[in-house]
Chains A and B, each alone.
Chain A
Amino acid sequence: MNKLTLSKETKITLKLIKRDKLAMLSLLIITFFIIVSIFAPFIVPYPSQGEGLPVPEKRFLPPSFENPFGTDYLGRDVLSRVIFGARISLFVGIFVVCVAIIIGVPLGLIAGYFGGKVDDVLMRITDVFLSFPSLLFAIALVATLGPGLFNAMISLSITWWPWYARLARAQAVTIKEQPYILASQVIGVKGLTIVFRHLLPNALTPIIVQGTMDMSSAILAEAGLSFIGLGAQAPSPEWGLMVSTGRIYLLNYWWFPVFPGLAIFLVALAFNLFGDSLRDVLDPKSRKAGGQM
Chain B
Amino acid sequence: MASFKTYLIKRIILALVVIYFVITITFILSHVVPSDPAELYVGPKATAEQREKAIKELGLNQPIYIQYLRYFQNLVNGDLGKSLRAHTPVLHDILTYLPATLEIVVLANIVALIVGVAFGSYSALKKDMLADHLIRIVSVGGVSIPSFWFALITQLVFFGILGIFPLDSRLSSDIQLFNPIHTITGFYTIDALITGNIVALVDSVRHIILPAFVLATYPIGLVTRMVRSMMVEVLNENYIRFAKANGFKDNLIYYKYALKNALTPALMALGLSFAYSITGAFLVEVIFSWPGLGTYTVNAILENDYPAILGVTIFGTIFYVFINLFLDILQAYLDPRVRLQ
| Interface residue ranges, A against B (CB under 8 Å) | 22, 124, 127-128, 131-133, 135-137, 139-141, 143-145, 147, 216, 220, 223-224, 227-230, 240, 243-244, 247, 250-251, 254, 257-258, 261-262, 264-265, 268-269, 271-273, 276, 286, 289-290, 292-293
Task: List residues 139-183 of chain B with CB under 8 A from any CB of chain A.
Answer: 140-141, 143-150, 152-153, 155-156, 159-160
Is there contact, CB below 8 Å, between B235 and A293?
A: yes
Q: Which of chain B's residues have a CB closer than 8 A to the CB of A131?
A: 15, 18, 22, 317, 320-321, 324
Q: How far is the CA of A229 from the CA of B297 in the complex (A)?
A: 11
Q: Which of chain B's residues have a CB closer than 8 A to the CB of A268?
A: 144-146
Q: Which of chain A's residues have a CB closer than 8 A to the CB of B309?
A: 139-140, 143
Task: List residues 276-296 of chain B with CB under 8 A from any CB of chain A.
Answer: 276, 278-280, 282-283, 286-287
A-B contact count (CB 8 A): 152
Q: Which of chain A's residues have a CB closer than 8 A to the CB of B34?
A: 144
Is there contact, CB below 8 Å, between A144 and B30?
A: yes
Known: A144-B29, A144-B30, A144-B33. A224 touches B283 (CB 8 A): yes
A269 closest partner in B (C-beta): B144
Please give the number of chain B residues whose Cβ is less than 8 angstroms from any Cβ of chain A in the complex: 63
Is there contact, CB below 8 Å, between B279 and A135?
A: yes
Is there contact, CB below 8 Å, between B148 and A224?
A: yes
Q: Which of chain B's residues have a CB closer than 8 A to the CB of A254?
A: 156, 160
A292 closest partner in B (C-beta): B236
Known: A250-B155, A261-B149, A269-B140. A228 touches B301 (CB 8 A): yes
Is there contact, CB below 8 Å, between A136 and B317?
A: yes
Q: How far is the CA of A243 from the CA of B148 in the complex (A)?
A: 8
Q: Which of chain B's residues have a CB closer than 8 A to the CB of A141?
A: 29
Known: A131-B18, A136-B317. A272 touches B148 (CB 8 A): no
| Interface residue ranges, B against A (CB under 8 Å) | 14-15, 17-18, 21-22, 26, 29-30, 33-34, 40, 124-125, 127-128, 133, 136-137, 140-141, 143-150, 152-153, 155-156, 159-160, 229, 232-233, 235-236, 275-276, 278-280, 282-283, 286-287, 297-298, 301-302, 306, 309-310, 312-313, 316-317, 320-321, 324
A22, A216, A262: the one within 8 Å of B137 (CB): A22
**From residue A206, how far is it (CB to closest CB) to chain B in Å?**
15
Is there contact, CB below 8 Å, between B146 and A220?
A: yes
